[in-house]
Amino acid sequence: MTIHVYFVRHGQTYLNLYDRIQGWSDAPLTDKGLADADRVANELKHVKFDAAYSSDLSRTVITARRILKNNVSIIKEPIQESAFREEFFGFYEGAIGPDTWAEIGKADGLTRFEQFVNRYTLEGARDLIAKSDPFHDAEDDQAFWHRFGHGLNILRQLPDQSTVLVVSHGTAIRSIISKYAKDIDPVAPSNGSITQIDLSKDQTQVNFYNQLTLTNK
């Protein structure tokens, strides 16, 4: 059993543009974000999807609809699944990114999220953010994977050899790479980038990550 999954990161939002922390909080797509969606739609227009999912946040729903609009598939509306949401940052949702990372990382002299990842790994950074949340609402790594892993298991229940679109979020897609593709540098994926994985009963195979084009893939 193999399920072929095309993960796409949503187009740029205003919170992305303003460098604010965006997990479960939402914001409209910018003009660039709409262009991101249309560009990836053109890349994927000849990939016939047997199923299509997005998270239940508008930035992924709108991106998915624009991808499906001119796709060869008859599917024009994604299934909205909360399991594919971004990591939840709790108290830090919507906060100014640089200020927040400097505050959380003050004891270690860290001022950027990438420094957290380099020092602690993506999983460790997630745990540190959760530990620092004064309301204890932010997801730690275990909570994130309990939810997001459920989403992957939903895909595993699809018919064998299904080809699936999932429009999700940057850190969520990046987490797949960090967990299942140790040979790939888990840099932050670009808005509108494509990551292709194959799911089997008990394996997750990453075929490519963070690509803006399917050329030579």
For 184-194, write each residue's pLDDT tens digit: 998 999 999 99
Tens-digit pLDDT profile for residues 155-206:
999 999 999 999 999 999 999 999 999 999 989 999 999 999 999 999 999 9
Q: What is the pLDDT of residues 18-36, one digit of tens each?
A: 999 999 999 999 999 999 9
In the chain, % helix, strand, coil (3-state, to 5) comes to 45, 15, 40
pTM > 0.85: yes
| CATH architecture group of domain 3-86+139-211 | 3-Layer(aba) Sandwich (3.40)
**What is d(CA 16, CA 14) in angstroms, rounded to the nearest whole number?**
5
Question: What pLDDT score was predicted for residue 216?
Answer: 59
Measured between alpha carbons, how far is 44 from 51 in angstroms, rounded to an integer? Answer: 14
Largest distance between two CA atoms of the chain: 53
- Residues tagged in the binding site annotation for substrate: 9-16, 59
Residue 91, token pair as written in the block: 């108290």
- Ramachandran angles phi, psi of 96, nearest 5°: -70, 120
Q: Please, is 89 exposed, middle or buried when counting C-beta atoms within 10 Å of its C-beta (0-12, 13-18, 19+)?
A: buried
Q: Binding site: residue ranges?
A: 9-16, 59
Mean pLDDT of the chain: 97
Whether pLDDT at 65 is above 80? yes
Using a 10 angstrom Cβ sphere, with 0-12 exposed, 13-18 middle and 19 or more buried, the burial of residue 156 is middle
Residues with active-site annotation: 10, 86
Instruction: Centre a 10 Å sphere on the Cβ of residue 38 and count the other Cβ atoms it contains.
Output: 16
pLDDT value at residue 170 = 98
Q: Strands of 112-151 (E only): list them.
A: none
CB atoms < 10 A from the CB of 23, how many?
22
Which pLDDT score, from 0 to 100, does residue 215 have? 80
